[in-house]
């Protein structure tokens, strides 16, 4: 099954000693979610056009 924006949003990572900056990771994931949603919308639009 393909990854969805909701899957990205709900993904949780375990914390390790001296791990990544949580805020920086969350900001990056938010940007990934927005970009991925945009790509999915564009794909749907293109599929509708080709079906017409």
Is 38 a residue whose pLDDT tops 90? yes
Cα end-to-end distance, the chain, whole Å? 27
pTM, two decimals, is: 0.77
Give the pLDDT band of residue 32 (cuts 50, 70, 90): very high
Listed by start position, the domains of the chain span: 1-10+32-52
Q: Could you tell me the two tokens for 45?
A: 């639009």
- The predicted model gives 3-30 an average pLDDT of 90
Is 12 a residue whose pLDDT tops 80? yes
- The predicted model gives 9-28 an average pLDDT of 89
């Amino acid at each position: 099954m393909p990854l969805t924006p909701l899957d990205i949003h709900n993904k949780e990572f375990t914390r390790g000693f001296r791990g990544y900056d949580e805020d920086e990771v969350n900001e990056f994931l938010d940007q990934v979610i927005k970009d991925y949603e945009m790509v999915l919308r564009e794909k749907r639009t293109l599929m509708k056009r080709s079906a017409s």
